[in-house]
Structure 1
Amino acid sequence: MDTLMKSALPKEAAQDNEKRGRKASKEVRRLQLIEATIDSLAKRGYSETTMADVADGAGLSRGIVNFHFESKEKLLVATLQHMYDEYSAHWRAALLKAGDDPARQLRALVAADFDRSISNKRKLAAWCAFWGEAKSRPTYQALCGARDAAYQNVFIDLCRKLKEEAGYDFDPQGTALALSAMLEGLWLRLMMGTEDVTRESALQAAFEFLSLAFPKHYPGQTRSERNVG
């Protein structure tokens, strides 16, 4: 009996490994297709992106695209979900790394928006493609709304804490809205390539806003603090 059990173990282990391999392969394929979708959105825009473009960009057959996503709409929703997950994980990691000080946390969130992995023309163009469609697509609105609200609530909470610490005379919600709107505007300028805006100059402008809105917490930003990742 023991001999039979021992001989079965390698077979079971091999089956488990095969299952994990298939799962990993599926995830790799999905990611390839999502990355190719981002490329196509950045290059062609939303309406001109097709399943065939994505398949060609990923170097995969069109049947593989249909197998994983069934339709262009499902592929685009998955891509938007992926981008939001990536962005959320990025700013949450920056927030955690900043520790418990609200001034450091807010500065870290602002800096995170201009990190090279997040703020590049390819991804900014894809974001803009989705933003242009969100108004007429309830699925996009629902997906974006909940995540945007969570992010905005962190901004509001940090602005409230800084106000309590220094006695500023402003509305935390309004100040947080102004800050997030400015960051979105800088993203748009980066994507459009207007006025020679770079990630470095955009981050410097964002830090200048912090200095104006919270002068007791950010009396002046040094050049080293303005470095972009």
Structure 2
Amino acid sequence: MKLSSAVQETADQEKRGRKASKETRRQQLIEATIDSLAKRGYSETTLADVADGAGLSRGIVNFHFESKEKLLIATLQFMADEYAAHWNAALEKAGSGVAAQLWALVAADFDRRICTKRKLAAWCAFWGEAKSRPTYQALCGARDVKYQETFVALCQALKAEGGYAIVAEATALALCAVMEGLWLRLMMGDGLTREKAHAAAVEYLVAVFPAHFTREGLK
């Protein structure tokens, strides 16, 4: 016998509610894992710490992730997806201008939505483990390659536009290394602010591409 439309609608709503609840709890646990990594580091983070931080039972953690390793992989996946979506959105919003795109990508790395002390500390925790954990390398490898290739392509285009005597690939690599180094400094908490870090990265752009950038923005 078929369910009435009202009963079916109620059943569908309950199903959506259960799904939303499951996704909400997973996200709570991932956010709590980021907090724990920032506070305790990789090796000292436990499922009990995550459960307590999320305000959920340890059974809930086991139900959603089964093990610490699966929870950490899910957390790294979330952070990698978030970062990729962030810089891709910045690139799209910048429009078709090459200089505007490069400016937007550099600025995106120091946006308060992505560049927080807790997330930087979590990234550092994963970076410290990546060498001995191929899963971590594989998870972020393709995205890192795409990110680097985007910088190389933009540097090549600016070189052609401005007639700069640079090696585009090396210039892109150096710029990415500058930004990674600034992230590390921000994570160390030595007084460097996001604004000052962003200004330092901009200084690199101004020095390498003076026909396209000033400290205030595009020429």
What TM-score, normalized by structure 1, do the two folds share?
A: 0.93
Match of 1:209 in 2: 204
CA distance in 1, matches of 2:44, 2:19: 31
Match of 1:26 in 2: 22
Unpaired segments of 5 or more residues in structure 1? none
Match of 1:182 in 2: 178
Amino acid at match of 1:99: G
Identity rate, percent? 70
**Which of 13, 16, 41 is the aligned partner of 1:17?**
13
Amino acid at match of 1:166: G
- DSSP-derived class of the 1:136 partner: coil
Amino acid at match of 1:200: E
CA distance in 2, matches of 1:142, 1:168: 35
Match of 1:102 in 2: 98
Larger radius of gyration: 1
1:127 aligned to 2:156?
Answer: no
Per-residue CA deviations over 1:146-176 (Å, capped at 9, x if unaligned) read 1111111110110111011111111111111
CA distance in 2, matches of 1:18, 1:152: 44
Measured after TM superposition, the shift of residue 15 of structure 1 is 1.0
- DSSP-derived class of the 2:4 partner: helix
CA distance in 1, matches of 2:176, 2:13: 46
**Which of 165, 172, 177 is the aligned partner of 2:168?**
172
CA distance in 1, matches of 2:7, 2:208: 65
Match of 2:88 in 1: 92
Give runs of aligned pairs for residues 61-100 of structure 1, distance below 5 A. Answer: 61-100=57-96
Amino acid at match of 2:215: Q
Q: Following TM superposition, where does structure 1 have runs of at least 4 consecutive aligned residues deviating by more than 3 angstroms?
A: none
Q: How many correspondences in the alignment? A: 218
Unpaired segments of 5 or more residues in structure 2? none
CA distance in 1, matches of 2:18, 2:25: 10
Amino acid at match of 1:188: L
Amino acid at match of 2:209: F
When the two chains are superposed, the root-mean-square deviation of aligned CA atoms in Å is: 1.3
Amino acid at match of 1:89: A
Match of 1:221 in 2: 215
CA distance in 2, matches of 1:187, 1:174: 20
